[in-house]
Structure 1
Amino acid sequence: MSTDGNDSPLETLLLPFASGALAWPDDGALFLRARDGWPLHRQPLPGLVCVQSFKPEYDRLQRSGLDTDDTQRRFPLALVLPPRQRDEARALFAEAISRLQPGGIVVASMANDEGAKSGEADLARIGGPLQTLSKNKCRVFWTGPLNDAADEALAAQWQALDAPRPILDGRFVSRPGVFAWDRVDAASALLARHLPDDLAGVGADLGAGYGYLAAETLARNPRVAALDLYEAEARALDLARINMRKIASSATLGFHWHDVTAGLPQRYDFIVSNPPFHAQGRADRPDIGRRFIAAAADALKPGGRLWLVANRHLPYESVLDARFGSVRTVAQQDGFKAIEAIKAGR
């Protein structure tokens, strides 16, 4: 996806309908990993149902008035914007086929530098022969009318790729496509090693992922009364709910599918965070981290503490210095920095 306001994969996804190669079905279409953008509003798309598990994109779809109410019915057409992570994309192709009416068609689009060639080959493996168009440095490819997957056993195998699975010797469960899905990322590990043992009261984990930092926080801090986990990706938040059930803690837990950059709904004694610095593309987005820091500053009580980890090169110091009474770098290692920031008192 471009960062200049154009969404080339989305525009290319609708190319077969704009060119007349495909007709829009009377019974509508299911759009998996849907994103809003001008191509969705260029021509009427009656009956379009958009499915998106990433809260910022979901919110954009709703603000545009698009239907996000998936009732699990079957459709004559499934549109897909597959992610770069290949196992996640394969699961999505299998899901798309499973949601078709008899004779339905799957249409997918990917940027050439985001795995379009591999995505096209994968859809052909379970969907049979494809047709393809290229434009905008992207490919759009679609199946013929399907009654079932061309390889039903493979389709079932790929659909299972999205199921939660044990990682880290069974300590957590995770799934492909979630950030650092099969490991502890180095930044979170650095912050966890330097977390204090005197955090107390009500806290929050911003960008909680599958729950690693939240689990480490509670393991070190028995005086925490409550911890809210905020995560924009619903697939990750579902994992965090499972993983936090295993934690031996008396703390009350809250789980929030929420875009942290829009602000937080309540006040906290402390916050921990490994904020994202990418959106759904690969380019650095330090503005996201800065907005996480601003949201934390607004939500912390006077004297509240933010424990933050970030890539060393990301320019967060200006917003930290502006929004907090004191800021110190606790540790630097492997290109990351762990920071404690304390909000000024009244």
Structure 2
Amino acid sequence: MASSHSDPALDSLLLPFTNGALCWPDGPVLFLRARDGAALRQFPLSQLVCEQSFKPFADELQRSGLQVVPEASPATATRYPLVLVLPPRQRDEARALLARAVALAAPGGIVVASIGNNEGAKSGESDLKQLAGLGGCLSKNHCRVFWTRPLDGSHDAALLDRWLALDAPRPILGGRFISRPGVFAWDRIDPASALLAEHLPADIAGHGADLGAGYGYLSAEVLARCPKVQALDLYEAEARALQLARQNVSGHATLAQVDYRWHDVTSGLPQRYDFIVSNPPFHTQSRADRPDIGRRFIAVAAESLKPGGRLWLVANRHLPYEETLNAGFGQVRVLAERDGFKAIEALKANPAVNRRPAR
């Protein structure tokens, strides 16, 4: 079933084919950063090869019966007569993606991209023009869709190689971590996570989880500061970030068992935990505020903690999380506030302790 959410960039991406400006090919079509939507139903879905590293979007595509691959690499021999792209907002990441799209196009193939006007549409169009030249462009739905001429090897090969390297994982913070553009707070320690890490008590113990682990900073701090932790599961919806977390956290000397899970936390967790830490997302990939995502993280944490289990959470001070915290936990207290953030500890009620004695 197609997603019911409005997706102007996706609708605009397919506009050149519905209005006759471009012809849909007979062969396989690669869709980079693919998202599901009703607009796709105009075309043979069996032709689509969808690359999507964000778990909620990947799950939607798979539920609709679309083929989803973790990564389409130019190192393989497969080339496509049409490559569709929904570039991200971060420019280095977007340039690398456009370069990979050009590299994956077959001789005579084309690359078509669509970006919202407030998400960097003009920059994206300029970048594709610089890399391979433009065959056309259209504006609709507050988006721009633009495409190459049929590719015949005349693109700027040196620029393509430079842009492909823009997305490569690299050392940050003096080599303490590995990261890459596009990942949340990719080249720094997020101040909210740093505040929470500073207030983690050393007596955290047992089997825990990090919800929305990013490139692994908070998990690394838990393992470094809390020697009684026996196991830690990292949940992260963005596979590109989880790959980095695997490198960053596995490099810390620890006796704890660590597991890495590509998972949409909002769908719930598969087991129960002694403790949970989280710096939950509160916006979409387009940076629109979505406090409901953070509230769902809190509700899932409450569902997934054992009685007496503890949640350590950090959030923007203005976000309306109190009602959800009070509904799911027996005790809630603010540990610290700084730079517009608040670190919170929440204790899940233990029925055996809180139950009134029988009369």
TM-score scaled by length of structure 1: 0.97
Following superposition of structure 1 onto structure 2, how do residues 47-86 of structure 1 map, counting pairs within 5 Å? 47-69=47-69, 73-86=78-91
Following superposition of structure 1 onto structure 2, how do residues 1-346 of structure 1 map, counting pairs within 5 Å? 5-69=5-69, 73-148=78-153, 150-346=155-351
1:97–1:149 CA contact under 8 A, matched in 2: no
Partner Cα separation in structure 1 for residue 17 and residue 4 of structure 2: 24
Deviation for aligned residue 1:28 = 2.3
Answer with 238-247 or 40-49: which moved more: 40-49
Partner Cα separation in structure 2 for residue 334 and residue 273 of structure 1: 18
1:26–1:46 CA contact under 8 A, matched in 2: no
Deviations 1:131-185 (A, max 9, x none): 1111111110000111336111111111111111000000001000000000011
Q: In structure 1, what is the equivalent of residue 357 of structure 2?
A: none
Partner Cα separation in structure 1 for residue 212 and residue 45 of structure 2: 34
Residue type at the aligned position of 1:20: G
Aligned residues: 344
SS of aligned partner of 2:258? strand
Residue type at the aligned position of 1:214: S
Deviations 1:103-129 (A, max 9, x none): 110000011111000000111111123
Answer with 236-245 or 279-288: which moved more: 279-288
Partner Cα separation in structure 2 for residue 163 and residue 273 of structure 1: 27
**Structure 2 CA distance for partners of 1:313 and 1:151, relative to 1, 3 Å:** same
Partner Cα separation in structure 2 for residue 9 and residue 54 of structure 1: 17
Residue type at the aligned position of 1:34: A
Partner Cα separation in structure 2 for residue 338 and residue 149 of structure 1: 54
Deviations 1:179-201 (A, max 9, x none): 00000111111101111100011
1:270–1:305 CA contact under 8 A, matched in 2: yes
Give the share of equivalent positions with the same residue, in percent.
69
SS of aligned partner of 1:68? strand
Gaps of 5+ in 1: none
**Structure 2 CA distance for partners of 1:336 and 1:149, relative to 1, 3 Å:** farther
Partner Cα separation in structure 2 for residue 339 and residue 17 of structure 1: 51
Partner Cα separation in structure 1 for residue 347 and residue 314 of structure 2: 15
Gaps of 5+ in 2: 352-359
Deviations 1:219-261 (A, max 9, x none): 1001111100000000000000011122111111000000000
1:24–1:45 CA contact under 8 A, matched in 2: no
Deviations 1:90-112 (A, max 9, x none): 01001111111111100000111
